[in-house]
Structure formats: C-alpha cells, structure tokens
Amino acid sequence: MIRARARTIGVASAWSILGLAWLVGTVAAQTDLGARLEVMGVSPNLVLILVMVAAWTQGGASALVFGCVGGALLDLSAAGPIGPRALALLSVAYVGVWASRNLRRPGPLLVAAAAAPATVLYAVITLAVDAALRQPTAGLAAAAELTVAASLFNAALTLPSAALWGWWRSHPWGRRPDPAEPSQRLGTITRRVQA
C-alpha cells in the first residue's frame, strides 16, 4: 500500500518536473528564437501553442497550470507587470479545455483551427489588462494587424505540433506510465515486438 502510494507520488513528481522543464524550454525558445522565425513582424507564440496542445491531449489541470506558469514566465521577460499574459493564457487554456470536451471529433486539425481564435483571445486579454494597468500598448489598428498575422502563424504551427504530439502520445515511450503497473510499458513493447 505504502509502496504503491510512494510510486504514485514519484511518477507524478517526475512528470511535473518534466512538464516544467518543457515549459521553461518553450518560454526560452520563444523569447530567444521567436525573432528568428519572424514573418510580417510577427513571431510565433510557442507557449500558446503548447497550452492549446496540452488542453486537447493532457487534460484541463495540466493545460491551466501550463497557461498560468507559462504566462507568468512570459510576463517576466517583458517590460511590465506580471499577470497580463498569465491571465490571457489561463483563458486560452480554459477555452481550449472546454472546446476539447464539447466538440464532437477533436483532432490536430481542430486544435490548429482553435489556435486562431485563441490567439485573438490572448491578444484581447493581454492588451486589455495592459491598458487597465496603464501600460503602453500598441494602437488598435496596429494591434489588429499583428493579431491577424499572429493567428494565422500560430494556427499553421499548431497543426504539425498537435499531430506530432498526438503521434508521440500514441507511442509506447510517450505514454504516462501507470504507477500501479510498473511493467506496463515493457509489456506493451513486448506485445508489439511479438506482434
């Protein structure tokens, strides 16, 4: 009983650390490499893409935590208060989770399609909170132009990301191990080899 509980905690901790490392890596990539991928003055929002994919494949809690922590880390790297991007990505995660649970046939294409309105939602909340906090914001016309380009860019990048993540989750190595059955993964691989 105690051993099983310890194993459960161990697996959960390992996955949490892995998730956090993945998130920090994505934030660093967005703030460092984003400009290298710039098209029409817009760089991809990799954290938003991660949150959308997490909302569809990992479940509500993971997506919300990814959105909150990822947004706070993005706010850290911007000149301004911590909060606008965290709130924006929390909302994006919530809408993503709601959509994944209510749409009939969720799949990579729908995740990509949902990334476009999610980007608009992100922009609206970020700019609204910035304005409420009297932070300098882009003009309405410039912001609208940037948001349209960003929506298309994020949607285009979400499609391969979601497909890749879906493939990885279906792979034996990408599945979260069940703590109750430590040999499950080995069993799966063995069965595949036998087949």
Q: What are the residues binding another protein (CB under 8 A)?
A: 24-25, 27-36, 38, 41-43, 45, 47, 56-57, 59-61, 64-65, 67-68, 71-83, 85-87, 90, 94, 97-98, 100-101, 104, 106-107, 122-123, 126-127, 130, 133, 136-139, 142-143, 146, 150, 166, 169-170
Pure H helices in the chain: 2-33, 46-57, 60-77, 84-102, 108-132, 140-170, 184-194
In angstroms, give the least distance from the CB of 163 to another protein. Answer: 10
C-alpha 44/C-alpha 174 separation (Å) is 25
Q: Which is nearer to another protein, 56 or 112 (CB)?
A: 56
Least distance to another protein, CB of residue 68, Å? 4
Nearer to another protein (CB atom), residue 31 or residue 184: 31
Nearest approach in angstroms of CB 83 to another protein is 4
| Smallest separation (angstroms) from another protein to the CB of 1 | 28
**Cα separation of 110 and 19, whole Å?**
23
Beta carbon nearer to another protein, 5 or 106: 106
Nearer to another protein, 7 or 117 (CB): 117
Q: Find the length of the chain.
A: 195
Q: Least distance (Å) from another protein to the CB of residue 2? A: 29
d(CA 66, CA 82): 15
61/189 with CB nearer another protein:
61
What would you measure as the largest C-alpha separation in the chain, in angstroms?
A: 64
Look up residue 156 and give its two tokens: 């285009």
Q: Output b/e per residue, 25-45; b: 16+ Cβ within 10 A.
A: ebbeebbeeeeeeeeeebbbb
